[in-house]
Amino acid sequence: MGDFLGLFGDDKSRNQENDNEPRIQGDQTSGALQLHKEELDITKNNVDAGEVVLSKDVVEEQKSVDVPVMHEEVVIKRTPINNERSDESISSEETIHIPVTQEQVEVNKYTVTTEEISASKRQVQETQQVQETLKHEEAHVNTTGSVDIRDGSGFEDINNS
């Protein structure tokens, strides 16, 4: 059955196609049909992606350092003198003091700055591809018999376009 944009035709064929469409009553000489399509409405929202926390831990390590140190030793040397005669009297009052020194290691610790860690944010632009299926309506013109239909703007036969 022929049907011009769903407006002209017998009611029986319309009821079989879509029972939700309004029925045309009586004879009409003109009509209009609105076509619709879907478009994308894209919005961007800022959401939390996480956070970066800078902190530091104290790590201890044992360090062994070889430090050369000096110390003095007293060397006692005995030399025989062949029992020579002496005018000295025997006494315990004569004493010799020999100071002996040594180096002692003293360890002190101090703090030095080795590095600075900083963090900042920057914005990076990238492209994200979004895919969505969109619907749109198209008009279909069906004719029965020898009906010529012309486009209103240029009077061309829209069936041959």
Contacts (Cβ under 8 Å, ≥6 apart) of 98: 74
CA distances from 125 to 40, 90, 122 (A): 21, 104, 10
Structure tokens at 48: 């939390």
pLDDT for 150 beyond 90: no
Contact 141, 149 (CB under 8 A): yes
Residue among 17, 22, 8 nearest 145 (CA): 8
Q: Average pLDDT, stretch 55-74?
A: 96
Contact 64, 107 (CB under 8 A): no
How confident is the model at residue 90, as a pLDDT? 87
Q: Average pLDDT, stretch 138-147?
A: 87
How confident is the model at residue 30, as a pLDDT? 85
pLDDT > 90: what percent of the chain?
54
pLDDT for 6 beyond 80: no
Contacts (Cβ under 8 Å, ≥6 apart) of 74: 98, 100
Question: Which residues lie across from 102 on neighbouring strands?
Answer: 71
**pLDDT tens sequence across 120-134:** 999 999 999 999 999
pLDDT for 17 beyond 70: no
pLDDT band at 28 (very low <50, low <70, confident <90, very high): confident
**pLDDT tens sequence across 98-107:** 999 999 999 9
